[in-house]
Amino acid sequence: PYFSRCNSIRVDSDWWVVYEKPNYMGYQYVLTKGEYPDYQRWMGFNDCVKSCRTYPYYRGDSYKMRIYERPDFGGQMMEFMDDCPSVYDRFRYRDIHSCHVMDGYWIFYEHPDYRGRQYFMRPGEYRRFSDWGATCSTIGSFRRMRDF
Whether 1 has a pLDDT exceeding 60, the answer reads: no
Q: ∠ at Cα 82 (77, 83), nearest 5°?
A: 95
**Cβ atoms of residues 98 and 68 within 8 Å:** yes
The pTM score is 0.80
Work out the average pLDDT over 131-140: 93
Q: Rounded to whole angstroms, how far apart are CA atoms 90 and 138?
A: 14
Whether 94 has a pLDDT exceeding 90, the answer reads: no
Neighbouring CB atoms inside 10 A of 128's CB total 14
- 78 to 33, 43, 142, 147: CA distances (angstroms): 31, 28, 13, 25
Class of domain 9-55: mainly beta
At residue 80, the pLDDT reads 95
Q: Rounded to whole angstroms, how far apart are CA atoms 54 and 73?
A: 28
Q: Given 3.30.2130.10, 3.10.20.30, 2.60.20.10, 3.20.20.70, which CATH number is that of 64-144?
A: 2.60.20.10
The residue among 83 and 17 whose pLDDT is bigger is: 83
Return the closest-CA partner of residue 6 out of 34, 33, 45, 32: 45
Q: Is 9 exposed, middle or buried (0-12, 13-18, 19+ CB in 10 A)?
A: buried
pLDDT digits (tens, 9 = 90+) for 43-80: 666 677 888 888 777 777 899 999 999 999 999 999 99
At residue 105, the pLDDT reads 92
Whether 22 has a pLDDT exceeding 60, the answer reads: yes
Q: Domain locations in the chain?
A: 9-55, 64-144
Point out the least confidently predicted range of 25-29, 54-58, 74-78, 143-147. 54-58
**Cβ atoms of residues 138 and 88 within 8 Å:** no
Point out the least confidently predicted range of 6-15, 59-68, 130-139. 6-15
The residue among 128 and 33 whose pLDDT is bigger is: 128
